[in-house]
Amino acid sequence: MSDSIENVFKMEEYQKDVCEVYNFQIEKVIKDHYPTKVVQVHKTLDPNRKWAVKMCYKDNTQKGISSERQFLTEVIILRGLKHPFIMCLDNVASFPNYFCFVMPFYEQGTLTKALPTMTHELRDECLVQLCCGIKFLHDRGVAHRDLKSDNILLTMQKNVVIADFGLADYVWRREPLVTRKKGTYMHISPEQGEEPFNCFNCDMYSLGVVYWCMLYRVDVIDLKPKEPLLTIVSQTFHVPDIDRDILSCLLEADPTKRFSVMSLINLLSNSKRFDHRIKLLRVSEFQEKGLCLCLLKSQSFKKKIL
Task: Tell me the pLDDT tens digit for each residue of 239-295.
Answer: 999 999 999 999 999 999 999 999 999 999 899 999 877 766 644 344 434 444 555
Residues facing 114 on adjacent strands: none
Given strand 46-57, what is the order of strands in its sheet? 12-13, 91-94, 98-104, 46-57, 36-43, 24-33
**Contact predicate 217/115, CB 8 Å:** yes
| 13 CB-near residues (< 8 Å, 6+ apart) | 1, 93, 94, 95
> Domain limits of the chain?
12-104, 109-286
CB atoms within 10 A of CB 45: 8
pLDDT tens for 202-238 read: 999 999 999 999 999 999 998 888 899 999 999 998 9
| φ, ψ of residue 262 in degrees (nearest 5) | -70, -35
Specify the pTM. Answer: 0.88
Q: Please tell me the class of the 12-104 domain.
A: alpha beta
pLDDT of 118 above 60: yes
* CA distance linking residue 79 with residue 91, whole number of Å: 10
Element (H, E) at 101: strand 98-104
- 109-286 maps to CATH 1.10.510.10: yes
* CA distance linking residue 283 with residue 108, whole number of Å: 25
